[in-house]
Chains A and B, each alone.
Chain A
Amino acid sequence: MTLTIAILLASAAVYSWKFFGYLVPEQFLEKPLVSRVAALLTVSLLSALMATQALTKGSEIQFDSRVPSLLVAAVLLRFKAPFLLVVLAAAGVAALLRFFGF
């Protein structure tokens, strides 16, 4: 599978939620069980992505400058910093630590 085809498939898959949301009868997805699982699904995926992005390299677990950088991001989020500042600060901390050889 080429990357571009994968992008098209994934985009169609994401669009299908948006599209069918307008077609299905309203009661269908309004069950508390369904909305609860959907909300938690988002949480679990985002958290798993965050953790693997911060703590793994290839197929290995690796602790490096990404860990303090993520902690700084968490502190900024705690104080309601805007998204862009959080992301830039995280990049800055990692870059700085690497510059000094960590």
Chain B
Amino acid sequence: MARRQVDTMSLGVGIATGLYGISFGALAVASGLDLWQTQLLSLLMFSGGSQFAFIGVFASGGLASLPAAITSAWMLGVRNGFYALQMKPLLEHLGFKMPVAAQLTIDESTGVATAQANSEDTKRGFWLTGAAVFVFWNSLTFAGALLGSALADPSVYGLDAAAAAAFLALLWPRLKQRQPLIVAAAAAFVAVVLTPVLPSGLPILLAAVIAFVIGGLNLFKPRAQAGDRR
């Protein structure tokens, strides 16, 4: 791919991702964070799913739910570790830049980088996309937080419903096979049913156990795999 194309792709992904920084900012403020705490999450955590998880758990259970909020955010960040493994050989000799590369290792930068044909474009795509997402995600988080704090009662504007939709949108592309579909359905059921009987945040962590059971035993494995043996 020509250098221009890599640049355009990186910028486009950065802007598109940044745009939902607006919804994150508004939702974070609605869930009880102040402007600076919201910004701190986008600057330091810089991983959409984990950030939405943190504010989602905190919104439902307040200060008592903070340990569960931290744990959910942490567990949702696991895929970034896999992206890092994937990027390490592609970025080559990072040296002192490694800690920065690590912070920019997210869905989008890995996605753009691994879509490139040669090593130079891969590196360029990674750094440009990472930087673009970082800049847009953070500035639009700030805009969203300002917007959110201007609204008196967020539930009137349906912001609580928007949070559920945001999780569904993050989940959607991962539901292409039977195994993740069953895990998703079971996790949703367990989390909702346990909500009245357990302290806030805990139902979500228990729903995560389903992933260990179904994934660990490889139950309901993809149909294609079973068909291969014929």
Same complex origin of A and B: yes
A contact set with B: CB distance below 8 Å: 1, 3-4, 6-22, 24, 26, 29-30, 33, 35-56, 58-61, 65-66, 69-70, 73-74, 77, 82-84, 86-96, 98
Bound complex: CA of A58 vs CA of B132, how far in Å? Answer: 37
Q: Count of A-B contacts with CB under 8 A?
A: 308
Q: Given A55-B192, A93-B158: A69 and B165 within 8 A (CB)? A: yes
By CB atoms of chain B within 10 A, which of A53, A73, A77 has the most?
Answer: A53
Q: When the two chains form their complex, are residues B192 and A51 in contact, meaning their CB atoms are under 8 A apart? A: yes
**What 13 new A-B contacts, CB under 8 Å, besides A14-B77, A21-B83, A82-B19?**
A3-B66, A10-B74, A11-B41, A13-B77, A17-B78, A18-B105, A26-B85, A42-B78, A42-B79, A48-B188, A48-B207, A50-B168, A70-B165
Chain B positions within 8 Å of A, measured between CB atoms, are 16, 19-20, 22-23, 32-33, 37, 40-41, 44-47, 49-50, 52-54, 56-58, 60, 63, 66-67, 69-70, 72-85, 87-89, 94, 98-99, 101-103, 105, 155-172, 174-175, 179-180, 183-193, 195-196, 200, 203-204, 207-208, 210-212, 214-216, 218
A24 to B82: give the CA distance in the assembly, Å: 11
Give chain B residues whose Cβ lies under 8 Å from the Cβ of A40.
Answer: 179-180, 183, 210-211, 214-215
Partner of A13, one of B73, B185, B207: B73
Residues of B within 8 A of A45 (CB): 49, 53, 72, 75-76, 187, 204, 207-208, 211
Which residue of the partner chain, among A6, A16, A59, contacts B69 with CB atoms under 8 Å?
Answer: A6
Q: How far is the CA of A66 from the CA of B217 in the complex (A)?
A: 35
The 4 A-B pairs with the shortest beta carbon distances in the complex, nearest first, are A21-B84, A94-B158, A90-B165, A94-B161
Decide: A56 near B207, CB < 8 A? Known: A47-B183, A65-B158.
no
**Can you list 11 A-B pairs with a CB-CB distance of less than 8 A?**
A6-B66, A13-B70, A14-B46, A26-B85, A41-B76, A44-B207, A47-B167, A48-B190, A86-B169, A90-B165, A93-B161
A14 vs B36: C-alpha distance when bound (angstroms): 19
Q: Which residues of A contact B87 (CB under 8 A)?
A: 21-22
**Chain B residue, CB-CB nearest to A92:** B158
Q: A82: which B residues are within 8 A, CB to CB?
A: 16, 19
Contact of A3 among B37, B158, B184, B207 (CB under 8 A): B37
Contact A39 B50, beta carbon cutoff 8 Å: no
Instruction: Establish whether residues A46 and B88, one from each chain, have CB atoms under 8 Å apart when the complex forms.
Output: no
CB distance from A28 to the nearest CB of B (A): 8
Whether B165 pairs with A52 at a CB distance below 8 angstroms is no
Q: Given B23, B183, B190, B216, which contacts A87 in the complex, CB threshold below 8 Å? A: B23
